[in-house]
Every structure is written in structure tokens, then in C-alpha cells.
Amino acid sequence: MVIYTESFAPYNFQNEAGQLAGINHDIVKDACYRAALECEFIMLPWKRAYQLVQNNPHSAIISLAKTQERIPLFEWVGPLVSSQTYFFKLKTSDHIVMNDISQAKNYSLGIVRGDIYEILVRRLGFVTDKNLLLFSEADSFMRLFFKKRIDLIIGSDFTIDHQTEPFGYSRDDLVKLKQIHVDELKGNYIGFNKAASPVVVKRFNQALEQLKAEFGYEAYIKRYVKN
């Protein structure tokens, strides 16, 4: 199996040694071993990974949000690990006030092109090249965010340290604003190509359930998340 993924720390990313790592990467890697499957992990920009998995019957993708639009496109296994999602601003950006989620569209936001957040924020009134800037990689909009050329970013308690620390900042430099309450953000999944062998999908699902029942996910989370 080829397992496609993107750089989305702490769920899946490339560590300082150049190796793929992360909470969901490690869970899926262990599940591959238990299912006696040889899995090759390939990290790509999200939009490219999403296209490839739909063309390769011997592939899957992580970490995939389960939306109504995507449900018929994949065979689903999971959920894996996820965390509640919020809008964040810089602590020094006093002009940004968000007493209600509907006010989010009054400010500019940067996200990765083609990921789940693009669909969700459009529902909140964000429009491309007006208040929504799309990028192939998160590093691009994070740099603009810290230069105050973008008002908002999206993150969670699990991701925010990984988002800020490469740029010399910490979560203490940010303010957590409103939570994005959407069902699609309540789980990260493995999405198998629709033509994947039912036997393979079943074995993988059984392996994941066994792993979760024996050890849970907490040990995986503690590897990458501070407190």
C-alpha cells in the first residue's frame, strides 16, 4: 500500500532527521505492521496527494476529514486522532475582535489550498483573494501571519506549538478566538481508494481496532504534544 499524506504537524510531518513522523503517521504505520501490509508513506502537498489517492487503487491517504462530499469517494477507516479547531490571532493584533464566529469574515485568513478548511471557511463567508488567501504549503501563510499581513490562522491545541515554534514564536504569543463547530472536524480518518481490496481494508480496520483497544492513542499523542 502507498499511504499519501501532507505536512500537518503533529499528525504527519517530516522531522529534523528527514524521516516521516507524527501521531497519525505512527498509528497507521503500526497498523500496517499488524495487518501484515507493506506500506510506503509519501508526503506531498495536500491537493496533489488527494488527486493521486483517487487514481491509485493500492493507496490510501491520511489524515482525511470526513465530509459529505468525500464520503462516496473513499473507503473509510478510523477515526484516528484529531483536536478541536479554532481561529487564532497574534496577541498584539488588538484591532481583531471576534465575539461571534460570524465576525471571522471581517479579517483575512491564510490556509492550504484544497484542504478541508477551504470548504468550511467559505461557508463562513470567506472569499478567495478578498479575505481568503490560499497557499500550497502552510509555511507560506504563517510567515505572512507573523508579519501581520494576514490577520488569522486556524489551529488547535495539538497543532499550535508546531505551527509557531519554527518561526520563533509560541502559543503564548497568540490568542485563541472562536471554535469552528463543524462535524467534519471531529475526526481524522484513513481514506482508502474506492477500488482498494475489501480484504485489505478489512484487515487494516481490524488491526487499527486491536491497536486502539490494547494501547489507546494517548501514548502516540504524548510523543508529539506538550501537556
pLDDT digits (tens, 9 = 90+) for 71-110: 999 999 999 998 888 999 999 999 999 999 999 999 999 9
Give the integer Cα–Cα distance in Å for 152 and 121: 12
What mean pLDDT do residues 110-119 have?
A: 84
**Pairing mode of beta strands 132-135, 109-112:** parallel
In sequence order, which residues have a C-beta less than 8 Å from that of residue 86 and are 6 or more positions away? 154, 155, 156, 176, 177, 178, 179, 180
What mean pLDDT do residues 180-196 have?
A: 83
Give the integer Cα–Cα distance in Å for 222 and 227: 8
User: How distant is the alpha carbon of residue 21 from its chain centre?
Assistant: 14
Residue 16: count other Cβ atoms within 10 Å of its Cβ.
6
Give the integer Cα–Cα distance in Å for 151 and 147: 10
Q: What is the pTM of this model?
A: 0.80
What mean pLDDT do residues 18-45 have?
A: 94
Report pLDDT for 104. Answer: 94
Instruction: Please report how the helices 198-215 and 23-34 are oriented relative to each other, as an axis angle in degrees rounded to 10.
Output: 110
pLDDT digits (tens, 9 = 90+) for 4-25: 998 888 999 998 888 999 999 9
- Nearest CA to 80 among 165, 168, 172, 205? 205
Q: Is 89 helix (H, G, I), strand (E, B) or coil?
A: strand
Give the integer Cα–Cα distance in Å for 117 and 128: 13
- Nearest CA to 98 among 140, 156, 154, 170? 154
pLDDT band at 150 (very low <50, low <70, confident <90, very high): very high
pLDDT band at 227 (very low <50, low <70, confident <90, very high): low
